[in-house]
Structure 1
Amino acid sequence: MSPPSFRHRAFQGWFIVAAVFAITFVGFGSAYTFSAFVESLQREFNASRGAVSLVFSLAGFLYFSLGAISGPLADRWGARRLAILGMALIALGLVLAGMARTLGEVYAAYTFGVGLGVGCAYVPAVGVVQRWFVRRRGLASGLAVSGIGVGTLVMPPVASLLIDTLGWRQAYFILGGLAAMFGIGASLLIKDDPYTQGLAPDGDSRHMDAPTPNRSGLSVRDAVRSPQFVGLYIACLISSFGVFVPFVHLVPYALDHGIAQSAAVLLLGAIGAGSTAGRFFLGGIADRIGRQPFLLITFSGMALALTIWAVATNIWTLAVFALLFGVFYGGWVAILPAVMVDYFGGRNASGIIGILYTSVAVGTLIGPSVAGFAFDVSHSYTIPIIASVGANVCALIIAAFVMRMPVTAVA
């Protein structure tokens, strides 16, 4: 057998994956630095932990719910424009957060900058990757969104270092500049469809009379009415009540247990490290064992990890939790878009994925903020953590029922 050609080895789809990796790195890396700013914002504005936590929750609600709008717009107008706009908004939001004089101004800057920016860019960018691949969709999707994991690993420690050396305001200014430079640059590399470039998915040879699988599939209207979509929507909604609690409260939890600030921030980085591993490796495994059954594994894995958090009191058990949770969280994020396209086809991938993510938006809004207010009342995270475990067990049961239903459409 002759060796693969350079064109095959340099399939343009992998460059699209790299661009989306950079976009998710900048977008979510910037968003997940928030945990490093919690203590500074509490001191600066004399605010409770619940009130400060609401900043992240509002931004998270917006960037997941906005996918229901940005996804269909990307299907019609192209993802590049939405991604560029999103990265510019993130940069502006971070800079304005650094200029804020009240906690309300932080709410506005973070919500309408970071929240709106990620909402504009994330779903359109991830939807593009689904069109460039079919057989290796799980792997490609995992690699693309692994930028979230690497961003979570790298950005919070960088933010903490900047806060310690320059102050929290200057830290926001620098992060805003980095977001503008790298985020907008990566967005310019996006191309929406392999067929418009004279290519076919997965690097296959294109035959002019061959069917175009990524242009087939259900309409958004038909997809969201299907029992599979409804079931997965409910499962993701319930799971999300607990999934995003660690991103806001793990660092404060560690500080409450006598762990130094530098080590506590590294725990958030450990989630990023585990998440990166999960996205890099588990997406390819899911392609082999089945992407729908693999989704069940991610729900059960997150429940197990959160159970460890409920009893963790020192740096080592918290590190085990963070790594394990990151692996299964990363696998969950990586596989969700691919599962959607497996069920409903690729023609309206961004629109369908965007509507699914509104479920995550509601969970992101409620989970971290309720956990913060519960802490203000009880001075303990026990109840929020146990509730997070239960949420993922419920999601697992619901998703298991969905997996027994026949596939509606295969891309």
Structure 2
Amino acid sequence: MSTNALQRHQPDSRYAMLRLFVTLLIMTVGSCGMYVVSVVLPAIQSDFGVARAEASLPYTLLMIGFGLGGIVMGKLADRHGVMWPLLLGAVCVGVGFVASSFATGIVAFSVVQGVFVGLGSGAVFAPLVADTSLWFVKRRGMAVAVCASGNYLAGAVWPPIVQKFVEASGWRATYVGLGLFCGLAMAGLSLFMRTRPPANVMDAPPAAVAGRAGIDAAARPFGFSLGTAQGLLCVAGTACCVAMAMPQVHIVAYCTDLGFGAARGAQMLSLMLACGIVSRLVSGALCDRIGGLRTLLLGSMLQCVALFMFLPFDGMVPLFVVSAMFGLFQGGLVPSYAIIVREYFPPAEASARVGTVIGCTLLGMALGGWMSGKVFDLTGSYHAAFVNGIAWNLLNMSIAAMLLLRTRRLHGAVPAAV
């Protein structure tokens, strides 16, 4: 690579900004699967004649595939760069949507969603978040937030569009169109991501320990071994997203049960995720100022408040308000984990470790989506499902608070900027 190219391809450069814009587009297209399946849940339930828990199974398997795909694709990105996982993901997403349209039963539909759409979506989220964290230093938190906002931008854009096509042409024809568009768009945009992160960033020590406790502290994040520290983050991520899944996965079905119709539910989901974009950007700015751990704890506390607000209200207008509140409060949680990993773990392992932690958040979404449907089937209402989500949220808060206290005790202060 020439000297001019090396100068252009540096952290915080104009090239890094252009790359961030392309990343946002890929994230918006490639993340549509996790929201589309929520929109078609009532149609799937009716078409296949299954109970609510069974109708939630496609989302559950999709999120499992999403999570496992993030881990596998993250390791592939660490070795070969992010472009190849993205191209593989484009093929998987395109094939997955088209193949799903031919499913004759809930089991076949669920398996295709998990294996193809889930794996393909996994190539998008965690690898791109990790890759973005390596291209920015001065405003890493904001850059990661912009990247991750593509996931919620997908949630804001796709549900109302898909709902209209489902009403006009049915969910099967809609899935064929999605497969063709998403597969081709992802593949084309992926070609812009050929350049790998700068070597000087990959060789640098974690920001949280460099210049403080010494390079050796990189081997003991929060005073734990690398494996234990990552394990705690994985449990925390799973817990927060079990709670997060209740409104996100079931708001359309909830509105249908209340008599407001699936279209109103899709609008609430779109509003929730549009507000999540704002939340992610604000949380990114907070990460740059107060660090990932404090941002995680604050977001977890606010998400718990929003979940409590779903309990006393079931009118259409109040649900719109609470949905917006929930989006504003919880949107920054998942990107915070990427920042925490970048602050405390070796940069050369960023994609794999971010993929593992974010994979666990997606597994939490899968578990929460299925669990909420099962609680509904057992109780006949979503009230108990919201209570279940609150309990998982409290587990997440306790882990985040414990890690924050340990870090303050070990280093005197939590990293305020990355």
SS in 1 for 2:406: coil
Distance in 1, Cα, partners of 2:216 & 2:153: 33
Instruction: Point out the more displaced range, 28-37 or 357-366.
Output: 357-366
Instruction: Point out the more displaced range, 400-409 or 65-74.
Output: 400-409
Distance in 1, Cα, partners of 2:191 & 2:227: 35
Give the letter for the 2:346 counterpart. G
Asked whether the equivalents of residues 133 and 140 of structure 1 are also in contact (C-alpha less than 8 Å), the reply is yes
Q: Deviations over 1:102-161 (max 9, x none)?
A: 222211221111111112332222111011012211000000011111110110111100
Distance in 2, Cα, partners of 1:316 & 1:394: 31
Shift of the 27–125 alpha-carbon distance from structure 1 to 2, 3 Å rule, reads same
Distance in 2, Cα, partners of 1:327 & 1:247: 13
Shift of the 339–7 alpha-carbon distance from structure 1 to 2, 3 Å rule, reads closer
Distance in 1, Cα, partners of 2:304 & 2:218: 31
Q: Which residue of 2 aligns with 1:206?
A: none
Shift of the 382–218 alpha-carbon distance from structure 1 to 2, 3 Å rule, reads farther
Give how far 1:163 is off: 0.4
Shift of the 220–372 alpha-carbon distance from structure 1 to 2, 3 Å rule, reads farther
Q: Which residue of 2 aligns with 1:3?
A: none
Q: Which residue of 2 aligns with 1:244?
A: 245
The reply to whether residue 134 of structure 1 matches residue 137 of structure 2 is yes
1:55-66 mapped onto 2 (5 Å cutoff): 55-66=58-69
Instruction: Point out the more displaced range, 384-393 or 185-194.
Output: 185-194
Q: Deviations over 1:275-326 (max 9, x none)?
A: 1111223211321233221111111111111111122201222112221222
Distance in 2, Cα, partners of 1:296 & 1:289: 11
SS in 2 for 1:32: helix
Give how far 1:353 is off: 0.9
Q: Which residue of 1 aligns with 2:57?
A: 54
Shift of the 351–19 alpha-carbon distance from structure 1 to 2, 3 Å rule, reads same
Q: Which residue of 2 aligns with 1:29?
A: 32
2:167 to 160, 164, 167: 164
Instruction: Point out the more displaced range, 325-334 or 164-173.
Output: 325-334
Gap runs ≥5 in structure 2: 1-7
Give how far 1:227 is off: 4.5
Asked whether the equivalents of residues 232 and 402 of structure 1 are also in contact (C-alpha less than 8 Å), the reply is no
Shift of the 125–314 alpha-carbon distance from structure 1 to 2, 3 Å rule, reads same
Give the letter for the 1:363 counterpart. G
SS in 2 for 1:135: coil
Q: Which residue of 2 aligns with 1:91?
A: 94
Q: Deviations over 1:21-60 (max 9, x none)?
A: 1222122223211121111111111111110101101110
Shift of the 7–394 alpha-carbon distance from structure 1 to 2, 3 Å rule, reads closer
Shift of the 306–345 alpha-carbon distance from structure 1 to 2, 3 Å rule, reads same
Distance in 1, Cα, partners of 2:17 & 2:205: 19
1:8-407 mapped onto 2 (5 Å cutoff): 11-191=14-194, 193-195=196-198, 212=204, 225=226, 227-406=228-407
Instruction: Point out the more displaced range, 12-21 or 212-221.
Output: 212-221
Q: Which residue of 1 aligns with 2:4?
A: none
Shift of the 218–333 alpha-carbon distance from structure 1 to 2, 3 Å rule, reads farther
Shift of the 282–263 alpha-carbon distance from structure 1 to 2, 3 Å rule, reads same
Asked whether the equivalents of residues 9 and 16 of structure 2 are also in contact (C-alpha less than 8 Å), the reply is no
Asked whether the equivalents of residues 231 and 399 of structure 1 are also in contact (C-alpha less than 8 Å), the reply is no
Give the letter for the 2:15 counterpart. Q
Point out 4+ residue stretches in structure 1 off by more than 6 angstroms. 6-10, 214-224, 407-411
Give how far 1:369 is off: 0.8
TM-score between both structures, scaled by the size of structure 1: 0.88
Give how far 1:334 is off: 2.3
SS in 2 for 1:47: coil
Asked whether the equivalents of residues 239 and 363 of structure 1 are also in contact (C-alpha less than 8 Å), the reply is yes
Asked whether the equivalents of residues 83 and 120 of structure 1 are also in contact (C-alpha less than 8 Å), the reply is yes
Shift of the 7–61 alpha-carbon distance from structure 1 to 2, 3 Å rule, reads closer
Q: How many residues align?
A: 395
Instruction: Point out the more displaced range, 224-233 or 382-391.
Output: 224-233
Shift of the 132–213 alpha-carbon distance from structure 1 to 2, 3 Å rule, reads farther
SS in 1 for 2:123: helix
Distance in 2, Cα, partners of 1:160 & 1:236: 30
Give the letter for the 1:230 counterpart. G
Asked whether the equivalents of residues 131 and 193 of structure 1 are also in contact (C-alpha less than 8 Å), the reply is no
Give the letter for the 1:385 counterpart. F
Give the letter for the 1:267 counterpart. M
Distance in 2, Cα, partners of 1:147 & 1:176: 19
Q: Deviations over 1:213-245 (max 9, x none)?
A: 589989999777355333322221222222122
Give the letter for the 2:18 counterpart. F
Give the letter for the 1:161 counterpart. K
Shift of the 221–26 alpha-carbon distance from structure 1 to 2, 3 Å rule, reads farther
Distance in 1, Cα, partners of 2:396 & 2:111: 32
Distance in 2, Cα, partners of 1:359 & 1:45: 30
SS in 2 for 1:99: coil
Asked whether the equivalents of residues 337 and 357 of structure 2 are also in contact (C-alpha less than 8 Å), the reply is no
